[in-house]
Amino acid sequence: MLKKVVHKNFVAYEDELINIVQDFDHQGEVFGNQNRNTIRVVDFNHLKLNIKSFRPPKLINKIVYGYFRKSKAERSYIYANKLLELEIGTPQPIAYFEEKSVLGLGKSFYISEHLDVDLTYKELVENPEYPEHEIILRGFTRFTHNLHENRVLFKDHSPGNTLIMKRDEVYHFGLVDLNRMEFKNLSFDERIQNFSRLTPKKEMVAIMSDEYAKITGKSYDLVFDAMWEATSKFQEKFFRKRRLKQQFKFFKK
């Protein structure tokens, strides 16, 4: 059984969209690094579609996502619409599809408009000489503060998940990989923690802290100390986990 939800502006193309996901492996071009999921970009009616195929869940999760919890594809679609309602940037959501059986959820797909962008936050980390680096970083900090003011906690706020576009000399920001979000009032600690996965570079944290202090009226020292502590703890945890994985692979040989 194929469950489908198509945005009202694209209902007329529902059958064509179904054909695309059913023949997903032969559509368009693979986009980005493929890890657990696969993304393909497809030309479609003067648009570029970004089609994300989520890996089927295993064992008990097939039942959980089939009967009790919303799939990653459904959450991505719902959250994208919610962000746009809040006037927060994200690619236009178009549809999601789920393959279900009595055993639960199989494959699922999320379709959105594919945007041509100038960079992601990741390029700011990798290239400190990127033109207008500090201007972009301060704009990104204001964007993140606006997320929090709108009661949005983006749990995957990491370097590759913020698109950055320059339009008419103004930088605009948009979120992708949306399936992990909460919508609630956020404490100061939760807001600061949300910056922790973005960069290991102290100089970037210093700029974000300075801008965040200006926006909120809090002292720079308070913001920087909290943001750098959260960042350091995340980096320590990240590299400890990587070392454990490498050790496990070594002993597995």
Q: How many residues does the chain have?
A: 253
Give a yes or no: residue 142 inside a domain.
yes
Query: What is the predicted pLDDT for the residue at 251?
Result: 44
Of the candidates 70, 95, 113, which is a domain's last residue? Answer: 113
| Higher per-residue pLDDT: 31 or 147 | 147
Residue 10 lies in a domain: yes
Tell me: do 199 and 90 sit in the same domain: no
The pLDDT-based confidence of 31 (bands split at 50, 70, 90) is confident
Secondary structure element (H or E) that encloses residue 127, with its range: none
DSSP string, 137-185: HHHHHHHHHHHHHTTEEETT--GGGEEEEEETTEEEEEE---SSEEES-
Q: Evaluate whether residue 250 is within a structural domain.
A: no
17 shares its domain with 70: yes
Asked if 19 and 2 count as a contact pair (C-beta separation under 8 A), the reply is no
pLDDT one-digit tens code per residue, 66-113: 889 999 999 999 999 999 999 999 999 999 999 998 889 999 999 999
Residue 136 has pLDDT above 60, yes or no: yes
Q: Which of 125, 129, 115 is nearest to 39 (CA)?
A: 115
Residue 253 lies in a domain: no
pTM of the model: 0.90
> Are residues 70 and 34 part of one domain?
yes
Number of domains in the chain: 2
For the chain, what percent of residues have pLDDT higher than 90? 81
Q: b/e for 143-171, b at 16 or more Cβ within 10 A?
A: bbbbbbeeebbbeebbeebbbbeeeeeeb
Asked if the structure places residue 248 within a domain, the reply is no
Residue where one domain finishes, among candidates 63, 96, 113: 113
Q: Are residues 130 and 237 in the same domain?
A: yes
Residue among 49, 102, 71, 43 at smallest CA distance from 178? 71
CA 184 to chain centre: 18
Q: Is the pLDDT of residue 250 over 50?
A: no
Note down the domain range covering 104: 2-113
CATH number reported for the structural domain that contains residue 172 in this entry:
1.10.510
Q: Report residue 128 as tokens.
A: 């400190």
- Could you say which of 50, 81, 113 is where a domain stops? 113
